[in-house]
Structure 1
Amino acid sequence: MRENGAMPASDAIAQPEQPWNRQRLRSTNERLLLDRLRTGGAASRAQLARETGLSKPTVSSALAALEEAGLVREAGTHAPERGRVAVLYAPDPAAGYALGIDIGRSWLRVAVADLDGGVVARADVRNRARSSGAMADLVVSTARQVVANSGLGAHEVAHAVVGTPGVYDGERRRVRYAMHLPGWGRAGLFDRMREELGIPLEVHNDANLAALGEYTYGVGAGSRLFAYILIGTGLGMGVVSEGRLFTGARGGAGEIGFLPWPGLQKPEKLEDAVSGEAVVEAARQF
């Protein structure tokens, strides 16, 4: 029942927070076409219209907008047996670049890649840092050098991703469980790197990123449920479910290295028995 013309609470809840509009419709169509081109390869306007269900004028308008934004480019032509020669469109890999940073106890690996995953510049340097602050300095200086070697301007690097042992706590802005990197759990280290690099920066578990890479480019492609086990200085696992990383409620899913090792007091956990260092140590004893 309405009083004083007021709308009942149930009706108010049903109202969308952000009503649909033409601009959103255009951007959705552009994203649909861009996703199709990225996953399915180059295609003509007619082919895109058939596969997406959009009208040819809508496809032409969306492609023009994507081309103007530098996200899509002409990639040749296709001459069918009958009919006109068709222009093919494909994503432009040079529309933006990403900075990847892999932090390990022994090595720091940094690379700049285009949107197709093509590596433009890379550096692998020994991690000789003896403190978390020195390691942060090494990350920033190496990243700057790699960007400089790529020949790109800093503004062309749109995003940076750090892979690190442990679990990143976004609320406290610190890494937990990075046992092999003393001091790496100190709060504020990644804020400092973010500020000094001047690039939007995300932090993820290294095994999770490896799993996502293998799912995208390797043997896990197309899998409904895919698990990747990373054996190095420590032991980790990344899980990809329905194309998305499965990290659990607090980001700890896949941290199998901390599982107890049954029947023995030492090693106390699974990582102590099967990590790369553990295997080498066991071999030395024989």
Structure 2
Amino acid sequence: MASDASTPPVARQISLRMVMEAVLHQGPISRAQIAKMTGLSKQTTSDVVRELEERGWLRERGRTQGAIGRSALTYEINDRAAFVLGIDLGGTKIRMAIADLKGIVVQEEEVPTDHRGGVHVLDQIADLARRLAAAAEIGPKALRLGVMGTPGVVDSTDGSIQVAPNIPGVDRIDVIGGLKSRLGFDVAIENDINLHAQGEQWQGHGAATRSFVFIALGTGIGMGIIAEGKLLRGARGAAGEIAYLPVGGDPYDPRGFTLGTLETAVGSRAILQRYRGYGGTAASNVREVFAALAAGDEAAATAIDETARLIAPAIVAVNAVLDPEVVVLGGSIGVRLELFERIRHYLARCGHVTPRIEVSLLGNRAALVGAIGTALSQLHNSLFGLDVTTGGLSLPIVEGRISA
């Protein structure tokens, strides 16, 4: 950076941050424009830009075009200087994406989750990450950080997975250590629904509000809570575990102790069992139940209607406790408009205050978007003292991609 060795580390970090922020916001941009935006001296700006360019974080883009005076070099973020890994680990599938420093997704893939669970899933994640990196022609040291969303309860102090009923064995192994040893870089672990909520906060219905909840319905059911602009985790990281709400069944029935009373009543397994209980024979999974519904199958219509009737009181309970501005529904099942309309119908009948509900704008990619955004935020902050998601530098979604 500056040639003056006495420059205080804090001042150096602030200068780095200011220059990187200017280039992220306005790049391609000249040194003179950076100095004007940041208030740094021209000499300090030149020193910082030179160091960032030498270290590979910035690169020349072209020259300014003006009618008066000489043209000047412009600089932009070197998007291939570093990459992050986003992982959405689910009970039935794994979604993974690699994004560059600007947030552009360069490779993405979805595969079925190894049903054996435990270390087999860690091996699967590592193999998939290497395959994506090779396809994107990314060197082994270019991937710098990963964030993985996982179902269940994640300990906020050490990132360990405490409860994960849909993925056997991962709550009995050192997932963080296992991934680092396999991948060669740090991977932070977050509850997948929290990442859903953060993705929606940045680029969905939550972007316009400071208090909302994201309810994901798929294999199971969970909720992420954004209160006054911040993710609410709870004392043990279990805030939002609405699967265990005593709604939709008998809370004293031990059959609901593992998955939770509500999840036992409205998860994908319950929907399929309900469909078959009403005499349906045309479906072997929930997707086929919705296909049967579209074909006019009466058993499918009854099963989806009953599922909505059970979900509505849970939303009313959430609304009474948290008073969110909006309830966003997501997950592979939660985004289905057929279910959404039935839930809205029952909400109007079971409470005097009907909360506003919306279907996620990000669909089933919300957790992946949240994972990539969180990874980029942590990487930028660790490198430059710059938080790109909470410091006014949100990452907009363009055609399903995250971009700066």
Cα offset for 1:198?
Answer: 1.6
Alignment of 1:39-58 (within 5 A): 39-58=25-44
Structure having the higher strand fraction is: 1
Q: 1:263 to 1:147 in 2, by over 3 A?
A: closer
Equivalent of residue 71 in structure 1, options 47, 51, 57? 57
Assess if the C-alpha contact under 8 Å between 1:38 and 1:90 holds in 2.
Answer: yes
Q: Residue 235 of structure 1 aligns with which residue?
A: 221
The aligned amino acid for 2:122 is A
Return the alpha-carbon distance in structure 2 between the equivalents of residues 241 and 50 of structure 1: 36
Equivalent of residue 271 in structure 1, options 263, 266, 276? 263
Assess if the C-alpha contact under 8 Å between 2:122 and 2:175 holds in 1.
Answer: yes
Assess if the C-alpha contact under 8 Å between 2:84 and 2:98 holds in 1.
Answer: yes
Equivalent of residue 88 in structure 1, options 74, 89, 98? 74
Q: 1:149 to 1:233 in 2, by over 3 A?
A: same
Assess if the C-alpha contact under 8 Å between 2:122 and 2:179 holds in 1.
Answer: yes
Cα offset for 1:207?
Answer: 1.6
The aligned amino acid for 1:152 is I
Q: Deviations over 1:238-258 (max 9, x none)?
A: 344676543233322332332
Equivalent of residue 201 in structure 1, options 172, 187, 192? 187
Q: 1:60 to 1:125 in 2, by over 3 A?
A: same
Cα offset for 1:47?
Answer: 3.0
Assess if the C-alpha contact under 8 Å between 2:146 and 2:187 holds in 1.
Answer: yes
Q: Deviations over 1:68-100 (max 9, x none)?
A: 111112233332454543433221111101122
RMSD, matched Cα: 3.0
Q: 1:168 to 1:263 in 2, by over 3 A?
A: closer
Counterpart secondary structure, 2:236: coil
2:167 paired with 1:175: no
Counterpart secondary structure, 1:155: coil
Q: Residue 143 of structure 1 aligns with which residue?
A: 129
Unaligned runs of at least 5 residues, structure 2: 1-5, 279-298, 300-404
Q: Residue 165 of structure 1 aligns with which residue?
A: 151
Counterpart secondary structure, 2:132: helix
Cα offset for 1:114?
Answer: 0.8
Return the alpha-carbon distance in structure 2 between the equivalents of residues 37 and 162 of structure 1: 28
Cα offset for 1:51?
Answer: 2.7
Q: 1:93 to 1:229 in 2, by over 3 A?
A: farther
Q: Residue 33 of structure 1 aligns with which residue?
A: 19
Which stretch of structure 1 is more off in the superposition, 54-63 or 244-253?
Answer: 244-253
Return the alpha-carbon distance in structure 2 between the equivalents of residues 147 and 30 of structure 1: 28
Q: Deviations over 1:107-153 (max 9, x none)?
A: 12222221122222233221233242322222222222222332222
2:106 paired with 1:120: yes
Cα offset for 1:56?
Answer: 2.6
Q: Residue 252 of structure 1 aligns with which residue?
A: 238
Counterpart secondary structure, 1:213: helix
Q: 1:58 to 1:21 in 2, by over 3 A?
A: closer
Q: 1:214 to 1:46 in 2, by over 3 A?
A: farther
Unaligned runs of at least 5 residues, structure 1: 1-19
Structure having the higher helix fraction is: 2
Cα offset for 1:204?
Answer: 0.9
Return the alpha-carbon distance in structure 2 between the equivalents of residues 159 and 139 of structure 1: 14
Counterpart secondary structure, 1:90: strand
TM-score where L is the length of structure 2: 0.58
Counterpart secondary structure, 2:141: helix
Cα offset for 1:261?
Answer: 1.2
Return the alpha-carbon distance in structure 2 between the equivalents of residues 172 and 90 of structure 1: 36
Q: Residue 46 of structure 2 aligns with which residue?
A: 60
Return the alpha-carbon distance in structure 2 between the equivalents of residues 164 and 244 of structure 1: 20
Q: 1:199 to 1:31 in 2, by over 3 A?
A: same
Assess if the C-alpha contact under 8 Å between 1:173 and 1:188 holds in 2.
Answer: no
Assess if the C-alpha contact under 8 Å between 2:89 and 2:151 holds in 1.
Answer: yes
Q: 1:262 to 1:275 in 2, by over 3 A?
A: closer
Aligned-pair identity (%): 37
Q: Deviations over 1:163-215 (max 9, x none)?
A: 11112226566312312122221132332222122211111111222332333
Q: 1:269 to 1:94 in 2, by over 3 A?
A: same
Return the alpha-carbon distance in structure 2 between the equivalents of residues 282 and 220 of structure 1: 33
Assess if the C-alpha contact under 8 Å between 2:85 and 2:99 holds in 1.
Answer: yes
Which stretch of structure 1 is more off in the superposition, 114-123 or 209-218?
Answer: 209-218
Counterpart secondary structure, 1:34: helix
The aligned amino acid for 2:60 is E
Cα offset for 1:283?
Answer: 4.6
Counterpart secondary structure, 2:131: helix
Return the alpha-carbon distance in structure 1 between the equivalents of residues 203 and 87 of structure 2: 18
Assess if the C-alpha contact under 8 Å between 1:173 and 1:191 holds in 2.
Answer: no
Assess if the C-alpha contact under 8 Å between 2:60 and 2:73 holds in 1.
Answer: yes
Which stretch of structure 1 is more off in the superposition, 102-111 or 53-62?
Answer: 53-62
